[in-house]
Amino acid sequence: MNKKSKIFIAGHNGLVGKSIFQKLKNDEYQNLLYLDKKRLDLRNQLEVNNFFKKNKPEYVFLVAAKVGGILTNINNKAELIYDNILIQSNVIHASYIAGVKKLIFLGSNCIYPKKLNRALKETDLIYGDFEKTNDAYAIAKVAGLKMCQSYNHQYKTNFLTLIPASIFGGNDNFDSQNSHFLTSLINRSIDLKLKKKKFFLVWGNGEPKREVIYQEDVALACIYFMKKKELKHDLINIGSGYEFKIKDYVNFIIKIIDPKHKFKIVYDKKKPNGIKRKLLNSKIAKNYGWKPKFSLIDSIKKTILTYNKFSL
C-alpha cells in the first residue's frame, strides 16, 4: 500500500473508521474512497458491486458495522445479525470480484466463548457458548471472519480479521444507552456532574472484568497490519494487555471528572452483568511488532475532552 493506492474505508464515519481516515489523510494518502450511508448503503448488494466496479479499490478497511452497548444488543438482535451479515457479505464478496489486494475486517471480542477464565486466544474460536446478551452480533462477526478465511482458502485472497478488545474513544456516539460500555460510563458521569445529580446507577454488580483499547490504537493496528507483508495468520487479536473490573473503570472516570466525588455509586444487581471476563491474548500481534501506543488514563481524558459540553 503506497500513497497513490486506491483505499476504500467502509465505515469512515464510525468509531474506528474516522481515526483510520484521519491518519491516512494526515499521512498524505491521495486516493481515499469513502461515501456516507445515504450515498452508499453497504447492505445493498447492487450498490456495493457498482461502487467497486466503478472505483476499483486496491485495499479495503471493512470497519463498518451495526453496533451498540448491552441494551442495544439485547433489544435489537434481528437488526444486528441481519445488517452486519449483509454489510460483511457484500463488501467481502465485492472485494474478491474486484481483485482487491488486501482487506482488513474488524471483528469483535464477543466471538469468544463466555466460560473461559483466561486470556482468549485466536484458537479458542467457537469452542463454547456465546454470551446471550450479544449472541446475535457475535454470530454475525463469526460469519464475517469465516467468510474471509473461506475466500482465502478457495480463492487465495488476502483477507485478514483483527479482533479488538472493547473499543472506546471520542468517535463513539456518546449515547448512554447505545454506546460501548466505557464511553457510556463517561457520558453518564459527565451528565451527572453537569446536572448535579446524587446517584450514579451502574448495571450489574461491577465485578465483571473488561479489557479496553483506545480507538486510535485500533486504527493504528489496522493500518499497521494492512502494510505488513508475509503474515502467517488470518485472525489476530488486538488488545491493550490490561483488564479491570467495571467498578474500577467507574472509579477511574469519576476521579477525573469529579475529584471530590459528590455523588453515590449504585449498582443495579437485577440488571445483567454480561460475560464475567474479556481479556485477549495478543501475543501473535506483538510477535509481528505491533503494540498499543496510548495509556488508559490519557485515553480516557482525551475521550472526556471530546464531549462537547465538558472540559477538565
Catalytic positions, written as ranges: 137
Contacts of 104 (CB under 8 A, 6+ apart): 60, 61, 62, 63, 160, 161, 162, 222, 225, 226
Strand ordering across the sheet containing 159-164: 31-33, 6-10, 59-62, 102-106, 159-164, 235-238
Task: Identify the bridge partners of residue 236 per DSSP, sorted by sequence position.
Answer: 162
Q: Which three cell numbers stand for residue 131?
A: 454470551
Asked if residue 250 lies in contact with residue 206, where contact means CB atoms within 8 angstroms, the answer is: yes
Instruction: Give the amino acid at 80.
Output: L
Q: Are 64 and 86 in contact (CB under 8 A)?
A: no
**Chain centre to alpha carbon of residue 219:** 10
How far is residue 68's CA from residue 70's CA, in Å, rounded to a whole number?
Answer: 7
d(C-alpha 291, C-alpha 284), whole Å = 11
